[in-house]
Amino acid sequence: MKLKMMYSFLNSDINIIEKKLEETIQADSLLLKQASLHTLQAGGKRIRPVFVLLAGKFGHYDINVMKNVAVALELIHMASLVHDDVIDDADLRRGQPTVKAKWDNKIAMYTGDFVFALALELMANLDRAEAHKILADTMVEVTVGEIQQIRDKYRFNQNLRDYLRRIKRKTALLIAASCQIGAIAADVEEAIHRKLYRFGYYVGMSYQITDDILDFVAKEEELGKPAGSDLLQGNITAPALFALENAANRIEIEKVHEKMESADIQSIITLIKQSGAIEKSVELSDRYLSKALAILEELPANKAKKTLKDIARFIGRRKF
């Protein structure tokens, strides 16, 4: 089943979100408007807004309240990617030139700042201090994680725990926050919104581990960027970490260094793929997926719960 089909009962609300996204990025500066629109139109799964809306279905769901939160979470995600592409010097995302490639780094920094500020403006419509605190804390953690990732680059003596902490901050926390803030916006009781947070966290972990596997095994056309980019950039993810457990592999993988060209790294990518590390990474992702599904069982039965289950399964097993 396609992702969009899973939440087809939300279709009219998703259309409202898409419209509101476009409406929100209007600016007095043509450049900011064009650069933001470019990012927006490059697409994406809009998974954070979908989680916001679905979490809201466990409470008093009012689309006029939910839409601000849903759009804000997508804009924060977008802003962080515009900045991330500057940091990672990435020219392509989702098969489209990044803002930093189409314009330049300076424009990209301000575009990210602009989009981030718009998100906060929308959030200001929500009268729930707790939700704002969760969002702010999440952003702090994401930033700490990104700094840690820089420190951990090309550091081959790190362990799985270091990696898990990084992906928690990079990906899982914002997804968890989307679920929890969506629920809080709909006045969902605390015991339930905490469970939705845990659900989002586990799904986010599974999602990022899958993303990191795909970076090794998917094709360039599917990734919208060359395969093996993570390792080439010194970013040690689950497959590399599992492969490093073998001493002979370790000697080869430790040869990866900053000045390396993509062609020089291909044999190491092949080595990692043949080492059984991909299978171990899939198992790791599946463990988080199971935890996400187990938490769902504790939630009241409704259509949103069924949809969250479908999406979680899809996300843990996606091919690209």
88 interacts with Mg ion by CB under 5 A: yes
Number of Cα atoms under 13 Å in the Cβ half of residue 246: 14
Mark 55-84 with x for binding to Mg ion (rule: CB under 5 A) and - for no binding. -----------------------------x
- Name the token pair of 169: 């901050």
141 interacts with ligand 2DE by CB under 6 A: no
61 interacts with ligand 2DE by CB under 6 A: no
Among 39, 68, 80, 178, binds ligand 2DE (CB under 6 A): 80
In 3D space, the residue among 222, 253, 225, 229 whose CA is nearest the CA of residue 240 turns out to be: 253
Among 48, 57, 170, 193, binds ligand 2DE (CB under 6 A): 170
Report the distance separating Cα 145 and Cα 67, nearest Å. 28
For strand 96-97 and strand 92-93, is the pairing parallel, antiparallel, or unpaired?
A: antiparallel
Report the distance separating Cα 225 and Cα 92, nearest Å. 6
Among 51, 58, 114, 116, binds ligand 2DE (CB under 6 A): 116
Q: Which stretch binds ligand 2DE (CB under 6 A): 121-129, 139-147, 185-193, 278-286?
A: 139-147
- Name the token pair of 50: 């979908």
144: amino acid identity, one letter: V
Q: What are phi and psi of 61, to 5 degrees?
A: -85, 115
83 interacts with ligand 2DE by CB under 6 A: yes
The CB-of-138 to Mg ion minimum distance in angstroms stands at 17
The CB-of-82 to ligand 2DE minimum distance in angstroms stands at 8
Q: Which is nearer to Mg ion, 84 or 187 (CB)?
A: 84
How many C-beta neighbours within 10 Å does residue 247 have? 7
Report the distance separating Cα 134 and Cα 132, nearest Å. 5
Among 8, 29, 143, 270, binds ligand 2DE (CB under 6 A): 143
Q: Is the distance from CB of 99 to CB of 111 less than 8 angstroms?
A: yes
Q: Is the distance from CB of 19 to CB of 148 less than 8 angstroms?
A: no
Q: Any idea what DSSP says for residue 93?
A: E
Q: Which stretch binds Mg ion (CB under 5 A): 87-95, 176-184, 295-303, 311-319?
A: 87-95
The CB-of-142 to ligand 2DE minimum distance in angstroms stands at 5
The CB-of-110 to ligand 2DE minimum distance in angstroms stands at 11
Binding region for ligand 2DE (CB under 6 A)? 76, 79-80, 83-84, 88, 90, 112, 116, 139, 142-143, 146, 170
